[in-house]
Amino acid sequence: MEMMTPERVRLTVAEARTLSVNALTRAGYDDEQAGYIADHVLDAALCGYEYSGLPKLLNVFEHRNLRLPRRRLKVVYETPVSAMVDGGNSCGMFALMRAAEMSIERAQQHGFGVIGMNNAWMSGRGAIFVETIARAGLIGIHTVSSTRHVAPPGGAKAAYGTNPLSFGYPTAGEPFVIDMGTSAFMSTDLQFRERRGELLPEDVAIDASGKPTRDPTVVRTGGALLAFGGYKGFALAMAAQALGVFAGSGSDQEGNYGYVMMAMKPDLLMPLADYRKQLSETLARIKATPRQPGVEEIRLPGERSLREREKNLREGIVIDRFIYDALLAVRPGLVPPFVQ
């Protein structure tokens, strides 16, 4: 650990992972789940998303579902190309990576794999799941319906989740990854701003009376986030919500969480090598678009994250000292044991 200032510290990748795993195992997660969750938040941090990095572990430890009974993941229905999985009240950062692995197994064998999951919470950054699928030479699609944080256009109360959509595609080089929330601001970033005592940007949230607010505590305790792009963002959110129902959100303990994970072989329609080549050529053509004055680069979705990861793998990550101290101080036994 390198003390940069009294408020900020730099950790090597190994130090950050050890800090994360130790906090998770102290809280009561087994080695397998602690490893999955730690790798998830560490990758978010490496990709430049500090709020989805190590601070997100504190969100896990404070989540209302953490202290409810847990069960092992259970397949409740399956076909050769699909499975419906009861997440058993698991942290989604673990459960959804298992869903990604299950979709890959089916797609590699049958050309297509779709996994539905419910009864899991806090799935984290969807990019990591679809990137994993893309690195297996498959096209990945992931949708989420989540707990209620967002008001529909014209609404004065949260009615649906931030409902992110994620896509991963194999290319001749690094996977092409698109990962986006359908809200104007993400709930994890809201929690991070609240921890830091920072205000939200303008026009991303309302209070309980429907008036604009920048106070994250006001939003969390009765207000709501807004959709990005008005009705267009709302429409995308409803598409994710409908797929959440497909994934069994109606049988979730809160009726909120429904996750779909899909993997497809490109050679369902064309040889994988041709797909990689043609997509890479398409992306290169778009990047080569003539630029407006003052624009240095046409940047594709996911490019900034890849560059940040390369840099931070060399240099390590930086976090707030109070986050570091809080992870060292995690109390034992927060996570209940599995039940039958």
**How many whole angstroms separate alpha carbon 131 and alpha carbon 139?**
9
Q: Is residue 198 part of a domain?
A: yes
Q: How many CB atoms lie within 10 A of CB 87?
A: 27
pLDDT computed for residue 292 by the predictor: 98
- Count of structural domains, the chain: 1
Q: Which of 182, 183, 221 is nearest to 203 (CA)?
A: 183
Q: Is residue 51 part of a domain?
A: no
Q: Which residues have a Cβ under 8 Å from the Cβ of 34 and sit 6 or more positions away? A: 20, 21, 24, 25
Average pLDDT per consecutive 10 residues, the chain (340 residues; last block may be shorter):
80 98 97 98 98 97 94 97 97 98 98 97 97 98 96 96 98 98 96 96 97 97 96 97 94 84 97 98 98 97 97 97 97 91
Give the angle 147-202-297 at the CA atoms, nearest 5°: 95
User: Coil, helix or strand for 3?
Assistant: strand
Q: How many CB atoms lie within 10 A of CB 99?
A: 29
Q: Is residue 203 part of a domain?
A: yes
Q: Is residue 174 part of a domain?
A: yes
Q: Is residue 88 part of a domain?
A: yes
Q: Is residue 55 part of a domain?
A: no
Q: Is residue 53 part of a domain?
A: no
Taking CB atoms within 8 Å and a gap of at least 24, the contacts of 207-211 are: 208/156, 208/157, 209/156, 210/151, 210/155, 210/156
Q: pTM for the full model?
A: 0.96
- Per-residue model confidence as pLDDT tens digits over 224-256: 999 999 999 999 999 999 999 999 998 777 778
- Per-residue model confidence as pLDDT tens digits over 262-298: 999 999 999 999 999 999 999 999 999 999 999 999 9
Look at the alpha carbons of 33, 39, 40, 41 in this order and tell me if their dihedral is positive or negative.
positive
The residue range of the domain holding 202 is 72-270+308-314
Q: What is the CATH classification number for the domain harbouring 191?
A: 3.30.1370.60
Classify residue 232 by its DSSP letter: H
Q: Is residue 136 part of a domain?
A: yes
